[in-house]
Copies of this chain bind each other. A is one copy, B any other.
Amino acid sequence: MDQDRSRLNLEEPRRVTIREVARAAGVSVSTASKALNEQGRMSPETRDRVRQIARDVGFRPNAVARALVGKRSFTLGLITNDTYGRFTLPVAAGLASAMASKGVSVFLCAVDDDPARVRLSIEAMEDKRVDGLVIAGKRIDRAPPLENRRPAMPVVYANAATPPEGVGFVPDDKRGGALAARHLLSLGRRRLAHISGPEDFAAVALRAAGWCQVLRDAGLEPYGKSLHGSWSEAFGYETGLFLRERLGTERYPDAVFCGNDQIARGLIDALQVRQIRVPEDIAVVGYDNWDIFARATRPPLTTIDMALTRLGECAGLTLLDMIAGKAVEPGLRKLPCHLVMRQSCGGEQIGDAT
């Protein structure tokens, strides 16, 4: 059968009709149609058999005709302004993988921050009658510029600002900061400094809040001034070269929690120039678990993983519920982060989630 199909595919593409599916399954066209549309009553065995046969013979319902009469098209759209892909690619991977197992395809449009591009993409998604839309971003306090345009389909936000009546998924950054602090405290570190990205990012404030709360619960204050700069190795490196001076402290900290992995890597490189040992003298925790950085750092970086792949899965499954007409509460869902231990803090290397 498979051989026949591949031979067939080398010829002019030809669609298998529902009549052929019905004949092969020994049921009426109407029963076959109900089985494939998940409508009407029949035994689960019959439904499964028809669907299996449809798959075997390569049947695909005519999506265009189906869309015209308002049925599902088994496609989702994903619109993102993260053209670099750092955040959206793991989200897209989780989404596409969870959806593929349900026979649903995901179309991604990367739009940068140009409202005209966003409009064009949303219109294209609407024109193509995708069943629903995931709107993804590169930070939790911004979204692609929709300009009051409400897509004519169910929408879920992922790692992006979510409007009050919307459904959204973001990493729990406050918990991420708390995880870093607890880990360092558990290793006996007590002079705990934090350096992070620009202050106007909501994630920066949340990570710092989670971090500070755990410190205060332990009777400690953050060690030295809090330092903010770009999300870059360069900022980490410059800070590392003059760490005490920048923090305004007499002694070095014994641990630094960095707002992302690039800052952490720059910091560690600079500490090595200053002959300060990581993790013996200073333990370092990163954030993101971006593995091309986290693994290449010497020593490899212990860091917080935002579980963006899982976030993409959750966004997709919730969107399917909305498309199916199930009641979904509006609001923001914060998904747990987790700590990935490598070697930049010492302690036992208990595993690597990636």
By the criterion CB–CB under 8 Å, are B128 and A75 in contact?
A: yes
A262 vs B233: C-alpha distance when bound (angstroms): 15
By the criterion CB–CB under 8 Å, are B108 and A110 in contact?
A: yes
A149 vs B10: C-alpha distance when bound (angstroms): 7
Residue A121 at the B interface, CB < 8 A? yes
By the criterion CB–CB under 8 Å, are A110 and B128 in contact?
A: no
Contacts of A74 in B (CB 8 A): 124
Contacts of A266 in B (CB 8 A): 296
Most B-side CB within 10 Å, residue of A67, A92, A127: A127
A234 vs B293: C-alpha distance when bound (angstroms): 11
Contacts of A232 in B (CB 8 A): 296
Residues of chain A in range 116-132 having any CB-CB distance to chain B below 8 Å: 116-117, 120-121, 123-124, 126-129
By the criterion CB–CB under 8 Å, are B89 and A9 in contact?
A: no
Residue A242 at the B interface, CB < 8 A? no
Contacts of A332 in B (CB 8 A): none
By the criterion CB–CB under 8 Å, are B103 and A120 in contact?
A: yes
The chain B residue sitting closest to A266, CB to CB, is B296
**Contacting chain B: which of A19-27, A57-65, A180-188, A336-344?**
A57-65
Per-residue CB contact flags for chain A residues 296-312 toward chain B (1 = under 8 Å, else 0) read 10100000000000000
With contacts A85-B89, A107-B108, A296-B232 taken as known, whether A100 is within 8 angstroms of B120 at the C-beta atoms is yes
Smallest distance from the beta carbon of A123 to chain B beta carbons, Å? 6
Taken together, the copies of this chain in the complex come to 2
Residue A13 at the B interface, CB < 8 A? yes
By the criterion CB–CB under 8 Å, are B105 and A234 in contact?
A: no
Smallest distance from the beta carbon of A124 to chain B beta carbons, Å? 3
By the criterion CB–CB under 8 Å, are A108 and B105 in contact?
A: no
Smallest distance from the beta carbon of A103 to chain B beta carbons, Å? 7
A111 vs B68: C-alpha distance when bound (angstroms): 28
By the criterion CB–CB under 8 Å, are B109 and A105 in contact?
A: yes
Residue A213 at the B interface, CB < 8 A? no
With contacts A63-B127, A68-B64, A296-B266 taken as known, whether A9 is within 8 angstroms of B96 at the C-beta atoms is no
Most B-side CB within 10 Å, residue of A6, A75, A105, A111: A105
Contacts of A84 in B (CB 8 A): 89
By the criterion CB–CB under 8 Å, are B64 and A127 in contact?
A: yes
Residues of chain A in range 39-77 having any CB-CB distance to chain B below 8 Å: 60, 62-65, 67-68, 73-75, 77
Residue A147 at the B interface, CB < 8 A? yes
Most B-side CB within 10 Å, residue of A65, A67, A128, A265: A128
Smallest distance from the beta carbon of A31 to chain B beta carbons, Å? 23
Per-residue CB contact flags for chain A residues 72-91 toward chain B (1 = under 8 Å, else 0) read 01110100000111000100
A127 vs B96: C-alpha distance when bound (angstroms): 18
With contacts A150-B13, A262-B292 taken as known, whether A124 is within 8 angstroms of B92 at the C-beta atoms is no
Smallest distance from the beta carbon of A89 to chain B beta carbons, Å? 5
By the criterion CB–CB under 8 Å, are A6 and B149 in contact?
A: yes
Residue A152 at the B interface, CB < 8 A? yes
Residues of chain A in range 327-353 having any CB-CB distance to chain B below 8 Å: none
Contacts of A77 in B (CB 8 A): 107
Q: Nearest 9 CB-CB pairs, A to B?
A: A63-B127, A105-B124, A107-B107, A13-B152, A85-B85, A108-B108, A233-B296, A6-B148, A85-B89
A–B Cβ pairs within 8 angstroms, 10 of them:
A6-B149, A10-B150, A13-B126, A63-B127, A83-B89, A93-B110, A96-B110, A107-B124, A107-B128, A232-B296
